Amino acid sequence: MATSTDSIEELTNQDYKYGFVSDIDAEAIPVGLDEQIVRTISAKKNEPDWLLDWRLKAFRMWQTMTEPKWHNVSFPPIDFQDMIYYSAPKKKPELASLDELDPEIKETFDKLGIPLDEQKVMAGVAVDAVFDSVSVATTFKDKLAELGIIFCSFSEAVQEHPELVRKYLGSVVPASDNFYAALNSAVFSDGSFAYIPKGVKCPMELSTYFRINAAQTGQFERTLLVADEAASVSYLEGCTAPMRDENQLHAAVVELVALDDATIKYSTVQNWYPGDKDGKGGIYNFVTKRGTAFTNAKITWTQVETGSAITWKYPSCILQGDNSVGEFYSVAVTNNHQQADTGTKMLHLGKNTRSTIVSKGISAGMGQNTYRGSVRIGKNAKGARNFSQCDSLLIGDKCGAHTFPYLEVRNTSSQVEHEASTSKIGEDQIFYCRQRGLSTEDAVNMIVNGFCKEVFRELPMEFAVEAQKLLGVSLEGSVG
C-alpha cells in the first residue's frame, strides 16, 4: 500500500489547463526600459501631457529605488532591461461592437470560459477583457451607462473621463509607494476603470479577466475603482497565462476609493501559470492593491491565489474615515515549487474603525506559503478594533508555512486580536473519509474546502464554485 506521502506527490502532478498560446498578430515595442519607452507607451495611447509627466516622474523615481528584499521568497534577479513593456493585439481595440473583436481573441476567452457575447454572458456580470497589455472588450457598457456607471478600459477612461482619472490616480497608491508600484506607474499599459455615482448600487458584478499571451512580455495593468458617496459595487478579477519556460513579470496596481458610506467588494481568483512541477517558468506576480475607505465606508478584499510561481501581494485598507470597515479574506495555495508571500495591511486612522483578517494558507509539494500582515492603529483611531485569524494547512512533509503578523497600537481604547494555527492534513482525517468510501483525492478536496470555507463564503456564488474547483485542480496529485 502506498504511504500517504507518496500519494501526496502523485496528486500534485496536475497540468495547467489554461497553458495554451493564442496565435495573434501583436504589436510590441523594443525590449528594455528607458525614458523613451515610457514616452512611446504614452504616445501610443495618445495620452494627455499631465499623464506623461506623471509617468516620467514615476520612472525617475523608480530609477532611484531598489527592489524590496524583506519578503520570504527567493528568485534569481530580474533583468528589467530584458523585457518588453508593451504588447497589444494589432487590430485596433476600439470596437463599435463586440462582433468586431478578433476571432482568435474571442476564442481565447471562450476557451477560458469567459464568453464576451452579451447574450451568453453569465447573468448579471459585466466583463472587461484585458489581453496582454490592452483591454479588448467590455460588455454591458450601455446598460451600465444608463445608471451613470462608468465601466471601461483604463485607456478609454483617460480619454473620456480625464477629470476622474486625474483626481484619483495615485491617490491611494502613489508612484513612490514601492519599487513595483513605481515601475507600474511608469509603464502601465491598460486595465479597468469603474466609477459608481452617488447613491447607485451597481446592479451587476463587474469583472475583469486578465490574460497574458505574448512571450517575454511584462504585464502592468492598473485598475482604478471609485465608489462615490453611498454607492456600492462588487468587482471580480480573474487571471490566466500560457505555459512558458521563462518567468514573466506581472506588476499590477489596484486602487480603490470608497467615499463616505460607499461599499466596495473586490474579489480575485488568481490563476496565473504557476510553473511546471520542477519550478520552471511561471508568473512573478508582484502586485500592489490598496483601498481608502472614508467615513462609514467598507472595503472587502477576497482573494483566492492558486497560480503564479511567486505571489507578492498585500491587498490593504486605509481606514481613513470614522466607522469605516476593512476586510481581507484570503486563500493562498502553493504547490510544487510555488512561493507566496501574501497578506494585508490595515491602517486604522479614523475613530471606531474595524478590520477583519482571515487568511488561509495551504502548502503542498515543496510550496512555501507566508502570511505577512500589518495592523496599525493610529493615535486618533479611538475605539478601533481588529480581528486577525491566520491558519496554515500543510499537505505532505516538504512544504512550509510561515506567519509574520505585525501589530502596532497607539492608543489605549483599541482592541486587537490575533489567532493563528498550523495544522497538517492528518492521515487520520484522510483515512476516516476513505473508510466512508471517498477516494483520497475527494477526501483531500473536501478537507481543504472545509478549511477554506470562511473565505469561500465571502465570494460571489459563481466565483465560489469556480474557486472550489480550482483548488481541487491546484492540489490534484498532492495526496493519494
Partner 1 sequence: MLEVRNLHATVAGTEILKGINLSVKPGQVHAIMGPNGSGKSTLAAVLAGRDEYEVTEGTVSFNGQDLLDLEPEERAREGVFLAFQYPVEIPGVNNAYLLKAALNEIRKHRGESELDAMDFMAFVKERMSVLQIDQELMKRPVNEGFSGGEKKRNEIFQMAVLEPKLAIMDETDSGLDIDAMKIVSNGVNAMRSPQRSIVVVTHYQRLLNYIVPDFVHVLSGGRIVKSGGKELALELEAKGYGWIDGVAEPVGA
- The CA–CA distances, whole Å, from 351 to 315, 323, 374, 382 equal 22, 6, 18, 5
Say whether residue 432 binds partner 1 (CB under 8 A): yes
Q: Tell me 99's DSSP state.
A: G
Say whether residue 160 binds partner 1 (CB under 8 A): no
Say whether residue 4 binds partner 1 (CB under 8 A): yes
Query: CB-wise, 92 or 436, nearer to partner 1?
Result: 436
Q: Which stretch binds partner 1 (CB under 8 A): 155-163, 340-348, 371-379, 444-452?
A: 444-452
Kindly state the smallest distance separating residue 450's Cβ from partner 1, in Å. Answer: 3
Say whether residue 10 binds partner 1 (CB under 8 A): no
Kindly state the smallest distance separating residue 442's Cβ from partner 1, in Å. Answer: 7
Say whether residue 135 binds partner 1 (CB under 8 A): no
Say whether residue 292 binds partner 1 (CB under 8 A): no
Say whether residue 3 binds partner 1 (CB under 8 A): yes
Residues between 261 and 290 that touch partner 1 (CB under 8 A): none
Q: Residue 238: left if φ>0, alpha if ψ -120 to 50, beta else—which one?
A: beta
Say whether residue 334 binds partner 1 (CB under 8 A): no
Kindly state the smallest distance separating residue 333's Cβ from partner 1, in Å. Answer: 16
Most distant pair of Cα atoms in the chain: their distance: 69
Out of 1, 96, 123, 461, name the contact with partner 1 by CB under 8 A. 1
Helix 440-451 vs helix 427-435: angle between axes, to the nearest 10 degrees?
120
CA dihedral (49, 51, 52, 57) positive or negative: positive
Query: CB-wise, 7 or 135, nearer to partner 1?
Result: 7
Kindly state the smallest distance separating residue 451's Cβ from partner 1, in Å. Answer: 6
d(CA 178, CA 22): 33
d(CA 468, CA 46): 42
Query: CB-wise, 3 or 74, nearer to partner 1?
Result: 3
Query: CB-wise, 159 or 449, nearer to partner 1?
Result: 449
Q: Which stretch binds partner 1 (CB under 8 A): 2-10, 39-47, 79-87, 264-272?
A: 2-10
Say whether residue 2 binds partner 1 (CB under 8 A): yes
Q: Which stretch binds partner 1 (CB under 8 A): 29-37, 214-222, 396-404, 441-449?
A: 441-449
Say whether residue 429 binds partner 1 (CB under 8 A): yes
Out of 29, 98, 420, 446, name the contact with partner 1 by CB under 8 A. 446
Which residue pairs, CB below 8 angstroms and at least 24 apart, start in 455-461?
A: 455/302, 455/304, 455/329, 455/330, 455/331, 455/358, 455/360, 456/304, 456/331, 458/267, 458/300, 458/302, 458/327, 458/329, 459/267, 459/302, 459/304, 460/205, 460/234, 460/236, 460/267
Kindly state the smallest distance separating residue 435's Cβ from partner 1, in Å. Answer: 5
373 in Cβ contact with 345 (< 8 Å) = yes
Q: Residue 34, SS3? A: coil
Which residue's C-alpha cell is 494558507?
361
Say whether residue 419 binds partner 1 (CB under 8 A): no
Residue 10 CA to chain centroid, in angstroms?
29
d(CA 377, CA 414): 8
Kindly state the smallest distance separating residue 480's Cβ from partner 1, in Å. Answer: 10
Say whether residue 452 binds partner 1 (CB under 8 A): yes
All three cell numbers of 472: 481541487
| Site size for partner 1 (CB under 8 A) | 27
d(CA 100, CA 380): 54
Given the rule CB under 8 A, which residues bind partner 1?
A: 1-4, 426-429, 431-440, 442, 446-447, 449-454
